[in-house]
Amino acid sequence: MISLEKLTRKNIWNLAPYSCARNEFSGTTARVFLDANENPYGSPLNRYPDPLQLELKKKIEQVKGIPVDYTFLGNGSDEAIDLMYRCFCEPKEDNVVAIEPTYGMYKVCADINDVEYRPVLLDENYQIAADKLLAACDAHTKVIWVCSPNNPTGNDINRDEIVKLLNAFEGIVVVDEAYSDFSRLRPLRYELPRYPNLVVLNTLSKAWASAAIRLGMAFASPEIIDIFNKVKYPYNVNYLTQQQAIKVLSDPFEVDRWVQMILQERSRMLEAFSQLSICEKVYPTDANFFLAKVSDAQGIYDYLVKQGVIVRNRTRVQLCHNCLRITIGTRNENNELIGTLRQYK
């Protein structure tokens, strides 16, 4: 990896960050808070939340095994995706390389930040070749985006190829593991000490059943985390979210039960869907959704919408012609989908 100073945008490296009132007294026990122009009435929501979310990060350390100083928390993992550009990619000059197809926000954030986005097509099994991604890089490539299990294809990306990228690429490799709770692979976040150029994204929006509270995580070396913390909005994770996240993370066994139910339903759905007359292929999945090739994705999608059943039409995505992406729901919801599709003519 080249030095972090060389990877970081100059204005960001030299940035004197905003100093929150609540950052300044750390280490002392405070009793009287007259520093932040808050209303003294209306506790607890009258107070600004902890800007670095220490209590929540300690909880995450207990549950996910990643130390506090390796953890950044944001308003969804989308915040961390955007920060990768704002911290490391000089607009109109730098570029990023990404697998294609994948989660759409990597490209949207590149466009917003005026950074060139270089998609590299997956193979027919939706897998990567590290050499192909590396060949798309040049001296201005700051980031390689990998998503595993990948959205919308659902499959784990070959771990050996990701390791090749981590060893060979001089910039940062981001591996988005939003769906890793549904996969059998050991999460890559445990390998962080071995790879100073690795950023792993996690979220509470999927297995943790908390999409509404908006809590995303980026795990990386403390040096990278410090740069994110300099650039983020001072109070980027609100108090209600911090409290609710602590509560959800206090019952990981409930999440294990949900994941087991979803995985059982996933097997049942893959089988039932593949029996439908409209189904041409169900792709293997390691996530809580699957991709299926059907006879006429647009027609079937429109029909389902009319029946009040919403899936994701991916037919316009590269390598996904005539494909629908289907989330695993409750047993009843899944039965509704299959029953409705059996009536399609």
Residues making contact with ligand PMP (CB under 6 A): 76-78, 103, 147, 151, 176, 178, 203, 205, 211, 216
Shortest Å distance, C-beta 266 to ligand PMP: 16
Nearer CB in complex with ligand PMP: 187/216:
216
Nearer CB in complex with ligand PMP: 147/341:
147
Nearer CB in complex with ligand PMP: 89/178:
178
Shortest Å distance, C-beta 101 to ligand PMP: 11
Scored b (16 or more CB within 10 A) or e, 240-271 reads: ebbebbeebbeeeeebeeebeebeebbeebbe
Angle between helices 331-342 and 297-306 (to 10 degrees): 120
- Of all residues in the shown chain, the one whose CB is closest to ligand PMP is 76
Nearer CB in complex with ligand PMP: 141/203:
203
Look up residue 18 and give its two tokens.
């905003």
What is the spatial distance between Cα 119 and Cα 78, in angstroms, rounded to a whole number? 19
What is the spatial distance between Cα 27 and Cα 25, in angstroms, rounded to a whole number? 6
Nearer CB in complex with ligand PMP: 103/126:
103
Q: Which residue has the tokens 């100093």?
A: 19
Shortest Å distance, C-beta 179 to ligand PMP: 7
Q: Express the helix, strand and coil content of the chain in percent, nearest 5 each.
A: 40, 15, 45
Shortest Å distance, C-beta 20 to ligand PMP: 23
Shortest Å distance, C-beta 287 to ligand PMP: 9
Q: For residue 135, give the amino acid letter.
A: A
Look up residue 319 and give its two tokens.
């390598």
Contact (Cβ atoms closer than 8 angstroms) between residue 295 and residue 318: no
Question: Dihedrals φ, ψ of 132, to 5°?
Answer: -65, -40
Nearer CB in complex with ligand PMP: 151/322:
151
Contact (Cβ atoms closer than 8 angstroms) between residue 165 and residue 146: yes
Nearer CB in complex with ligand PMP: 103/117:
103
Q: For residue 192, give the amino acid letter.
A: L
Shortest Å distance, C-beta 277 to ligand PMP: 30
Nearer CB in complex with ligand PMP: 205/221:
205
Question: Dihedrals φ, ψ of 25, to 5°?
Answer: -100, 15
Shortest Å distance, C-beta 106 to ligand PMP: 9
Shortest Å distance, C-beta 147 to ligand PMP: 5
Look up residue 30 and give its two tokens.
């405070």
Angle at 26 between CA 25 and CA 28, to 5 degrees: 80
Give Cα separations from 216 to 161, 237, 271 (angstroms). 25, 10, 33
